[in-house]
Amino acid sequence: MARRRRPANLTDYRAVLDSTGDIAIGAYARQQRRRRILIAMAGIGLIGGAVWLYTTLRPSAEIDWSELRPVAVECVKCGHREVMFVKAGEPSFPLKCPVCQERACHKLWECRDCGYQFLNIGQDVVLECPKCHSRRVGTAETLAEPAAEE
């Protein structure tokens, strides 16, 4: 059973002087208590909102990242460049652009000799750099460092 506090008798001021800490009386005490309760509720609300935001924005566990590979693409319509993750099988180009929402993203190629990046739209299968005419052309993803030979 909760112990009920006795109200201080203001005519006996010696008991008040002997006590430690602040003494709040009446409306001021109720205001302080309401304030503390509101601060606690706001804190609980912020924690609940953070948990909700985390669960909403985290990536789903259904995506198997081992099956995806990065592909550098450029949008023909808006010129946006981005590295997209597509399934390991050959994707159907053009891909949908995240900026303009058009199916106009084509694979970006890079010359291994001069570093020029270009699109290969409507050209033959043999790729050639339009700048230096080298045939050492590959996709524009970053390449793994070659193994050091001893």
Domain assignment present for 13: no
For residues 144 and 125, give the distance between their C-alpha atoms in angstroms, rounded to a whole number: 25
Q: Count the Cβ atoms, other than its own, within 10 Å of residue 73.
A: 26
- Looking at the fold, whether 89 and 39 belong to one and the same domain comes out as no
- Looking at the fold, whether 80 and 130 belong to one and the same domain comes out as yes
Average pLDDT over residues 50-72: 80
Domain assignment present for 7: no
pLDDT digits (tens, 9 = 90+) for 21-57: 666 677 888 888 999 999 999 999 999 999 999 988 8
The structural domain count of the chain equals: 2
- Looking at the fold, whether 31 and 91 belong to one and the same domain comes out as no
Domain assignment present for 116: yes
- Residue 94 near residue 106, CB atoms below 8 Å: yes
Of 135, 146, 137, 93, nearest in space to 117 by CA: 137
- Looking at the fold, whether 91 and 126 belong to one and the same domain comes out as yes
In this prediction, residue 126 carries a pLDDT of 64
The structure's pTM equals: 0.46
pLDDT digits (tens, 9 = 90+) for 79-136: 888 888 877 776 677 888 888 888 888 888 888 888 888 887 766 666 788 888 887 7
Domain assignment present for 147: no
Average pLDDT over residues 58-78: 77
> Which residue, of 57, 73, 101, is where some domain finishes?
57
In this prediction, residue 98 carries a pLDDT of 86
Domain assignment present for 14: no
Q: Domain range spanning residue 32? A: 23-57
